[in-house]
Every structure is written in structure tokens, then in C-alpha cells.
Amino acid sequence: MAGYQEEVNMKKSVLLGAMAFAGLAAGAASAGTLDDVKARGKLNCGVTVGLVGFAAPNANGEWEGFDVAVCRAVAAAVLGDSTAVEFVPTTGKTRFTALASGEIDMLARNTTWTFSRDVDLKFEFTGVNYYDGQGFMVPKDLGVSSAKELDGATVCIQTGTTTELNLADFFRSNNISYEPVPIETNAEAQQQYLAGACDVYTTDASGLAATRATFDDPGAHVLLPEIISKEPLGPLVRHGDNEWGDVVRWTLNALVSAEELGITSANLSEMSAGTENPEINRLLGSEGTLGEMLGLDATWAQKAIASQGNYGEIFAKNIGEDTPVGLARGLNAQWTEGGLLYAPPFR
């Protein structure tokens, strides 16, 4: 998700936290997050404070959603138990400090991969699990069909996100003005928007769809056609611990490759016994030593896929067209189906 000025204001505190952690991290990189997670027997995973379909507690208080599935897959790969996760809710403001300080092992919140976050804030993005873009939601009775008609509108916008700069750029380039209504969480944005405190809510288009799905009357609100940014969203870890970064990166890649290779939760057991496809065999551990290279056992990818299904299954279950969120695959289709989803070879 998206703002730059908040990040500039945050940098000193985040970097100080990162430097304080760096003494651990220089010493901690020798011990390593992977060893810490194994010793603890639990993965500490940062998520949003609540976004239906992506990360939110269900009626039983259990976290579920598209981003939650990444955490659970990593826990399954490392610990053999997808439930061995402590979910730590974070806001746009608190997520980076939580990661830099070592409070969490990875961040699986909707976070946009940007240059400054990767380089200046000293984090490492381990891939993209959702290709998104910033959009706008308005009440249908506002009578607006384009974001270019929003001159003078009040706009609810989350602080500590990239949406702030994107919003300012869009309005300036179109010679129109707006009044920002700053909010910190999606729940607060929803409350303010429905109360009429702002005319417009802007965030990642997937977040708008997820938020609208929770409304009593979703049809009374429309998503405008403009997508004004690139928002590649994905999990991230701290710089300097490459072994742990590899575990998170290749667990995500395993979920993506499983879909491309036709491995599903239904046929996983059969395919794990061995197939005619050497890449499937290497991925599932019936041949080769990929697990050993990661510091995991040979069935690490099997466990990740068994716990959540492949990428397509995770998408369909949590945010797909048959769910209240109702998202089409779009850019998040496999590269073989015209999308951007592409994992490097398991070789």
C-alpha cells in the first residue's frame, strides 16, 4: 500500500531500530532467523490489523486470508506445522519498526515493493504475491464516473503508505484539488467513509474490493476505472540474513510453481511419490537436495503446499471471483495465461 512523506518522517526511528537490531543482526545473522524460528517453534508474522480476504480473524478468532496463507506456508515449510504462527497486527506506521526491531520474523502485510523501502529502510522483498494498483471508491449517489471529476473532494487516505504521494501526483497532474482526511487503519477508513467524513476512499484496488465486500450494501459504492500506480505487493524480511530470505522467497515460489506445474492439494500425495517431470520431483523432494540447501528437510515444499494449496487455490479460496471480495486473476494469472505470475526454476 501506498505514502512517501510519512516514510521520510519515519526513517530515523526505523533506521535506529534497524541499527539497534544490527548489533543483533551482525551477531544475529550468524545465528540467523531460521535458527531462531526453529528454536522458538513458532513463526512471528506481521499482518494488517484486518482486511477481509487478505488478513483478518474469523468468528473463532483464527487468522485467515491471502496474506495469512503465506505465513502459514512458511511455518509449514520450516516447522512442519502451519498453525505454529503468532500473527502480529501492524499498521502502515508500525509495520517497518516491528520488522526492523526483530519483533516479527517476516512481514506478510499488503506492502508495496519500492526502491526506498528496499534500499534505504534496509529490507528485502522476497517476491510479489499480488500485483496491484491504487484506485478510488466513491458512493454511487455521488454521481461520479471518473477520478478526474473529483475536484475539491475530501479523500480518506491511510498514513504511512505510498498512496499519499500517488494521490498528490494524480491530482496535481490533472490540475484538480482535494482535501486529505488522514486515517491509520482500514477499519478507521471504512468508518469515516461510511459516515460521510470523506467523499472518496483511496488505497490499493484489491483493498477497496475487500473493504466494499464488508458493506451492508456493496452495490451502493463504485470503484472508479482509474488505476494510478504500480503496487507490487509481497512479503519482506530484514537485510543481512540471506538464509532466511531464501526460505521465505522459495516458499512463495513453491506455491506459484505448484500451480504452473499442476500440483494441487488433491494430487500432492500422488505426485510426491515421483513423476516423469524432473522439476516436480525436485520441488517435492523425491529427488535432488533442494531442501538441504535451504536448511530444511526434503519435504519442505510438500508441507507448504499441503497446508494451503497452490497459489491458484489460495487465490480462489480467499479473494477470487466466487468470494465476497470477487477479484479476477488479471495480472496475477500465471505467465502462461497472460499474467505476470512467474517463479524461477527449481533446479
Q: How many helices (H) and strands (E) in the chain?
A: 14, 14
Structural domain ending residue among the three candidates 194, 213, 229: 229
Task: Provide the residue range defining the domain that includes 164.
Answer: 134-229
Q: Are residues 147 and 197 in the same domain?
A: yes
Work out whether the CA dihedral 295, 103, 210, 323 comes out positive or negative. positive
Structural domain ending residue among the three candidates 203, 229, 255: 229
Report the pLDDT value the prediction gives residue 26, as an integer from 0 to 100.
39
Q: Are residues 186 and 241 in the same domain?
A: no
Q: Are residues 345 and 291 in the same domain?
A: yes
Q: What is the pTM of this model?
A: 0.86
- The single residue listed with the C-alpha cell 454521481 is 143
The DSSP letter of residue 106 is E
Q: Are residues 105 and 148 in the same domain?
A: no
Report the pLDDT value the prediction gives residue 265, as an integer from 0 to 100.
95
* Whole-number Å distance between alpha carbons of 308 and 330: 21
Between 22 and 154, name the one with better pLDDT.
Answer: 154
CA dist 24 → 31, 36, 245, 275, 277 (Å): 9, 12, 17, 44, 43
Structural domain ending residue among the three candidates 229, 246, 267: 229
Query: Which pLDDT band, with edges at 50, 70 and 90, does 22 fall under?
Result: very low
Q: Are residues 60 and 6 in the same domain?
A: yes
**Half-sphere exposure at residue 315, Cβ-oriented, CA atoms within 13 angstroms:** 23
Report the pLDDT value the prediction gives residue 312, as an integer from 0 to 100.
98
* Number of structural domains in the chain: 2
Q: What's the CATH number where 340 sits?
A: 3.40.190.10
Q: Are residues 22 and 118 in the same domain?
A: yes
Q: Are residues 211 and 283 in the same domain?
A: no
Query: Which pLDDT band, with edges at 50, 70 and 90, does 23 fall under?
Result: very low
pLDDT per residue as tens digits for the range 162-212: 888 899 999 999 999 999 999 988 889 999 999 999 999 999 999 999 999
Q: Are residues 219 and 95 in the same domain?
A: no
CA angle 47, 235, 232 (to 5 degrees): 110
pLDDT per residue as tens digits for the range 102-123: 999 999 988 999 999 999 999 9
Q: Is residue 244 within 8 Å of 124, Cβ to Cβ?
A: no
CA dist 212 → 139, 162, 163, 222, 315 (Å): 11, 21, 18, 9, 18
Composition of the chain by helix, strand, coil, percent to 5 = 45, 20, 35
Cell output for 47 = 499482518
Q: Are residues 114 and 33 in the same domain?
A: yes
Q: Is residue 308 within 8 Å of 72, Cβ to Cβ?
A: yes
- Taking residues 83-104, what's their average pLDDT? 95
* Whole-number Å distance between alpha carbons of 94 and 78: 26
3-state secondary structure 39-97: HHCCEEEEEECCECCCEEECCCCCEECHHHHHHHHHHHHHHCCCCCEEEEEECCCCHHH
Q: Could you tell me where the DSSP H helices lie in 174-320?
A: 186-194, 205-212, 242-261, 268-272, 278-284, 290-294, 300-308, 311-318
Q: Are residues 213 and 334 in the same domain?
A: no
Q: Are residues 199 and 313 in the same domain?
A: no
Report the pLDDT value the prediction gives residue 1, as an integer from 0 to 100.
53
Q: Is residue 54 within 8 Å of 66, Cβ to Cβ?
A: yes
* Whole-number Å distance between alpha carbons of 49 and 71: 15
Q: Are residues 110 and 139 in the same domain?
A: no
pLDDT per residue as tens digits for the range 207-238: 999 999 999 999 999 999 999 999 999 999 99
